[in-house]
Structure 1
Amino acid sequence: MADLLAGLEPDPLPATPPENAPLADRLRPRVLDEVVGQDHITGAEGPIGRMVAAGRLSSIILWGPPGTGKTTIARLLADAVDLRFVAISAVFSGVTDLKKAFTEAREHARIGKRTLLFVDEIHRFNRAQQDGFLPYVEDGTVTLVGATTENPSFELNAALLSRAQVLILERLGRAALEQLLDRAEAEMGRPIPLDPAARDALIASADGDGRFLLNQAETLFSVDLKEPLDSAGLSGFLQRRVAVYDKDREGHYNLISALHKSIRGSDPDAALYYLARMLTAGEEPLYLLRRLTRAAVEDIGLADPQALVQCIAAKDTYDFLGSPEGELAIAQACLYLATAPKSNAAYTAQKSAWRAAKETGSLMPPAHIRNAPTKLMRDIGYGKGYAYDHDAEEGFSGANYWPDEMTAQTFYTPTARGFEARLAERLSHWASLRQERRS
């Protein structure tokens, strides 16, 4: 049996990558301790650290942006707990590939070698394909490690999520990216040919993606430069717009923080200044539009619902016009946000509601508002007594919509600013009607 299965073993990770391998491969961590930027899950007190210490690995979903180490962590996990490592990609694999992987895993299990099945881009499998994993995960044929850049709550089946622990990988921070660049310089035996400001600019341009940083570094190492590049030279060399950092070395993250806080503090001139600093330095306009949109929902919310509309319109305008004309739309959105009434009520309500959802698990809605598409459901009380609000006085029935085991909660408390002042009045009126109609 061992001879029969020998040909099914995946290629092992070579002890030393070949000299002509890409720099990112040559610097790939060989043990979990070498993974940077993810100590919250790989450290001794993190969930992966605890699993490895116990020698038992449960199925997990690694959720995080590109270039943060999902594939590397999966491979090192298999090594750490002595599992056979098999990798497939949902982009290139189908049902036939899955069946083959499960069959081989079952055969290896019979001779005492269990399998870690790594599925990259697992969210790209459809619902039926995801369901196909369940029996093999449940009976231990495979330990599933899925990787996704998308929110698992929306992209993965609830049944699959209930059998796997979701671990969130973070974008690599400045310290982690610095560490990667230091390793690259040690591997190459010389410093990267950049002056200090350009080195900072290269790190900032990676936007948390370690693989991108190492690929850019490899390009720089591959040419013979007479002298280190400055920020402008780096931008021209890589044909990528890279933020310039002045003599005070205020970086990408300081400037974006200043922009966001100036908007939150309702100072349109300061906000426009920091926006200009980043755009004229070469920051990606779409990155700034994403941050402005975040400010619209986090710091303005329903105090002025048009703030979000302005940001999306600015993004569409920039897509249509490009630079430099489209940058006027970005500036307009920035000024709109800074001058809008502020509220984080929706933001705090979302956090509270998410926390309550995790704490209460899978409580059923009250019977009267459950879906009742079949006679059986109607016979057992689904939908019974539902009050159709449009038929009630003032279009408001005052019915209870919370699970029977849960008291009504208040997550959203609008402010007295902007449009939320009207919402506050409306909610207060409904609260009074609700009390009257339940008494």
Structure 2
Amino acid sequence: MADLFDTPGDPAPKSAAPRPLADRLRPRALSEVIGQDQVLGPDAPLGVMLASGSLGSLIFWGPPGVGKTTIARLLADETDLHFIQISAIFSGVPELKKVFEAARHRAANGQGTLLFVDEIHRFNKAQQDGFLPHMEDGTILLVGATTENPSFELNAALLSRAQVLVLKRLDLADLERLVQRAEKELGRALPLDGAAREALLEMADGDGRAVLNLIEQVAAWKVEGKLDSQALATRLMRRAAKYDKSGDEHFNLISALHKSVRGSDPDAALYWLARMLTGGEDPRYLARRITRMAVEDIGLADTHSHRVCLDAWETYERLGSPEGELALAQAVIYLALAPKSNAGYAGFKAAMRAAKKTGSEPPPKHILNAPTRLMKDEGYGAGYAYDHDAEDGFSGQDYFPEGMKRPVLYQPVERGFERELKKRLDYFAKLRLQRG
């Protein structure tokens, strides 16, 4: 793993092939790791475990390039455990059996094994279950690494035997420290002005490994003076944003977009929409979700909002990308600035709960049609008041099942068009009370 160091390593021998910068700067102790203080600090989980001498099995959850492999290797060094690294992508049951057998032999000779499993979420349920007995009898201390949410990707049995530690993207200050250590190792400063240096850090997108690779490229250039950000952008391709349309980033970003719209923040909503589009999200998925926002969070407070979304969706279908995406962006702006109400949504959910609770209660007989004499004899339709014949076009009859207490399901808010609907609702409630 090519990240997170605080002091440079030994230079390569002159007779050896040049070592990558990341390898030369690999941390040699946990105290040299940059970032992840929330995990490694004296009062943080790993700091407390190491101080008490009670290291347990762990799951490292975080994006690429933040030090998962490095920290696991250094944990083995600091606890005198034999370090074994495997990848769930390339390992199956036969390889796991060999690893467990070798760990048993070491245990018999008095040495423990720290088994680091990269991409552990790629193992299926049966393979994950295979770790359990070896964790429980102390044959291995498991340290798994995953970029996916362990709550969804790992078995509950495995999670109950390991502590999940969240590793975060490196911030710009952490990445700047990496640049400074690299410059110390290289013996010279990078040929970048201040703006270009900041642009380089942003290109890494919180990935320590990525910034070291970028540094190595820049350091190899033979240039006079310092490059500005435009010259840097010309020479370097910006790193693609991390985005998995079926993974955590997908759900996190659509949640951010939805909540920004609900929170009436068009700038934030546009940003998250753009993040998803630049990440390769299907605009049709976004069109569907935007329409859902109109239904759930705006509802009848702005009856035009649904039409805006459907029109934007149709416009995208006709224009395609990238022109059609502008229609989706305009719909997002409209929704963010529209009055908000979830009264219809809440009322419908309350109606669904009431429907399940009352089971198969029939409608009251006075609102049932009676096409046959038998049905008329049974009282179907008897006493029905035709609303158009009533004063104000409102009879005030009860339409709920007989014996069911009348619920209040739809409660409009004092915003947008629902303010008018609330007046109407209150008006009919007053008439209903007057007419018994």
Q: Same fold (TM over 0.5)?
A: yes
Matched residue type, 2:68: K
Give the AA of the match of 1:117: L
Q: Output aligned runs, 1:22-33, within 5 Å.
A: 22-33=20-31
Structure 2: stretches of 5+ with no match in the other structure? 1-8, 242-256, 300-304, 344-355, 363-399, 405-410, 423-436
Output one character per residue of 1:98-142: Cα deviation in whole Å (capped at 9) or x when no partner. Answer: 001000000001111100000000000000000000000000000
Change in 2 beyond 3 A, CA 1:108/1:275: closer
Q: Indicate how the Cα distance of structure 1 residues 338 and 329 shifts in structure 2: closer, same or farther if over 3 A, else same.
A: same
* Counterpart contact for 2:290–2:332, Cα < 8 Å: no
Residue number in structure 2 paired with 1:141: 139
Aligned residue for 1:391, secondary structure, equals: coil
Aligned residues: 320
CA contact (8 A) 2:261 2:332 kept: yes
2-structure distance, mates of 1:271, 1:95: 47
State the SS of the aligned residue for 2:223: coil
Q: Hey, what does 2:232 align to over in structure 1?
A: 234
Q: 1:303 maps to which residue?
A: 297
CA-to-partner distance for each residue in 1:131-158, whole Å, 9 max, x for gaps? 0000000000000000000000110000
Q: Is the 8 A contact 1:63 1:167 kept in 2?
A: yes
Structure 1 match to 2:43:
45
Deviation at 1:389, TM superposition (A): 6.0
TM-score scaled to structure 1, two decimals? Answer: 0.62
| Pairing of 1:150-229 with structure 2 (within 5 A) | 150-229=148-227
How far does residue 340 in structure 1 lie from its aligned partner after superposition? Answer: 3.8
1:95 corresponds to which residue?
A: 93
Corresponding residue for residue 351 of structure 2: none
Deviation at 1:225, TM superposition (A): 1.6
Secondary structure at the counterpart of residue 144 of structure 1: strand
Whichever residue aligns with residue 76 of structure 2, its letter is A
Identity %: 56
Q: CA deviation at 1:230?
A: 1.3
Q: Is the 8 A contact 2:200 2:211 kept in 1?
A: yes
Structure 1: runs of 5 or more not aligned: 1-14, 244-258, 346-386, 399-412, 425-439
The answer to whether the 8 A contact 1:67-1:209 is kept is: yes
Give yes or no for contact 2:260–2:336 (8 Å, CA) kept in 1. Answer: yes
Cα separation, partners in 2 of 1:144 and 1:284, compared to 1, 3 Å: same
Tell me the TM-score normalized by structure 2: 0.62
Q: Shift of the alpha carbon at 1:328? A: 2.2
Match among 125, 128, 131 for residue 130 of structure 1: 128
Amino acid across the alignment from 1:208: G
Contact 2:204 2:239 in 1 (8 A): no
Distance change >3 Å, CA 154–CA 180, structure 1 → 2: same
Residues 111 and 301 of structure 1: is their aligned pair in 2 closer, same or farther, counting only changes over 3 Å? farther
State the SS of the aligned residue for 2:226.
coil
Deviation at 1:52? 1.2
1:227 is aligned with what amino acid?
A: G
**Cα gap change, 1:419/1:218 in structure 2, threshold over 3 Å: closer, same or farther?**
farther
Take 1:164 and 1:284, find their aligned partners in 2: how far apart are those partners?
A: 33
Matches within 5 A, 1:211-360: 211-240=209-238, 266=264, 268=266, 286=278, 302-304=296-298, 325=323, 328-329=326-327, 331-332=329-330, 334-341=332-339
Please identify the structure whose Cα radius of gyration is greater: 2
TM alignment of 1:33-112, pairs within 5 A = 33-112=31-110
- 2-structure distance, mates of 1:287, 1:260: 17
Letter in 1 for 2:360: D
When residues 107 and 193 of structure 1 are mapped into structure 2, their CA distance, relative to the original with a 3 A threshold, is same
Q: Deviations over 1:328-374 (max 9, x none)?
A: 256335424532445899xxxxxxxxxxxxxxxxxxxxxxxxxxxxx
CA RMSD of aligned residues (A): 4.4
Say yes or no: does 1:391 pair with 2:360: yes
CA distance in 1, matches of 2:33, 2:224: 34
